[in-house]
Amino acid sequence: MAQDVLCEVNNCVYNKSGNRCGATQIYVVSNKGKEAETSHETDCRTFKPE
């Protein structure tokens, strides 16, 4: 399991110093059904704007 989750979305409430994600869990979904071939086909549903 990942110890550090990084995020470059500056206006997310979970983005902490050093671009560290402070969310207790991360929810990532595929834009292409249940499978994705690249990271470009995914979205982070954990995002919440400031």
Residue 28 near residue 45 (C-beta atoms within 8 A): yes
> What is the residue type of 38?
T
Q: Tens of pLDDT along 6-48? A: 999 999 999 999 999 999 999 999 999 999 999 999 999 999 9
Is pLDDT above 80 for 1? Answer: no
Give backbone dihedrals phi and psi of 4, rounded to 5 degrees, phi first: -125, 125
